[in-house]
């Protein structure tokens, strides 16, 4: 165990560029931490985000004269598109982190952009990073993919309602 700890402590990568630090940051960020919640709280958070986005788009479209069913359908369509983009951006951040965790080499910058270096991870860190990737991040990516497809389906149905 002391060998593993010394390898981790001798890592030349700055603390803010380590994948494990990025993982902790994504777990603690209020815009991305909802992806790590249990199913019940995940659904509640999605409903909350969706409601906030819907209210925001509704507020922006209050100037329209017709506040009927078409107005609601338009706002739902815009809301689902915004939410899909939001999910895709979060999915991109998690998938980039997964790539860093699965890679046996890490590119890092010591001082500035032209000062890039590559560090080969020791086997114990590779195993730990891949374990985090498969056990923690893969389920998040699958969940985000399902959520995105669900909202894409809702958006498609809403679009069909609008053109008919």
Query: pLDDT tens for residues 88-142?
Result: 999 999 999 999 999 998 888 776 666 677 888 888 889 999 999 999 999 999 9
CA dist., res. 128 & res. 133, Å (int): 9
CA dist., res. 65 & res. 73, Å (int): 15
pLDDT value at residue 29:
93
- Mean pLDDT value across residues 74-94: 94
Q: Are 12 and 108 in contact (CB under 8 A)?
A: yes
pLDDT value at residue 45:
93
**DSSP structure class, residue 135:** I
Query: pLDDT tens for residues 26-67?
Result: 999 988 999 999 999 999 999 999 999 999 988 887 766 566
CA dist., res. 16 & res. 37, Å (int): 24
Q: In the structure encoding, which two tokens stand for residue 35, read together?
A: 């992806």
CA dist., res. 30 & res. 27, Å (int): 8
CA dist., res. 61 & res. 72, Å (int): 10
**DSSP structure class, residue 67:** -
- Mean pLDDT value across residues 149-161: 94
- Residues near 108 by beta carbon (within 8 Å), at least 6 away in sequence: 12, 13, 14, 17, 116, 117, 118, 119
pTM for the whole thing?
0.84
CA dist., res. 39 & res. 143, Å (int): 10
Q: Are 11 and 119 in contact (CB under 8 A)?
A: yes
Q: How many CA atoms lie within 13 A of 63 on its CB side?
A: 1
């Amino acid at each position: 165990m002391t060998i593993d700890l010394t390898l981790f402590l001798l890592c030349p990568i700055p603390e803010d560029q380590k994948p494990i630090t990025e993982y902790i940051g994504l777990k603690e960020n209020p815009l991305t931490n909802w992806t790590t919640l249990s199913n019940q709280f995940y659904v509640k958070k999605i409903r909350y985000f969706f409601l906030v986005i819907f209210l925001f788009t509704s507020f922006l479209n209050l100037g329209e004269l017709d506040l009927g069913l078409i107005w609601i359908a338009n706002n739902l369509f815009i809301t689902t598109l915004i939410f899909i983009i939001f999910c895709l951006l979060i999915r991109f951040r998690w998938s980039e982190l997964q790539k860093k965790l699965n890679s046996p080499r890490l590119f890092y910058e010591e001082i500035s952009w032209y000062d890039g270096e590559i560090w080969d991870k020791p086997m114990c860190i590779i195993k730990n990073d891949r374990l985090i990737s498969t056990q923690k991040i893969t389920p998040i990516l699958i969940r985000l993919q399902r959520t995105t497809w669900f909202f894409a389906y809702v958006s498609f149905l809403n679009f069909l309602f609008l053109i008919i």
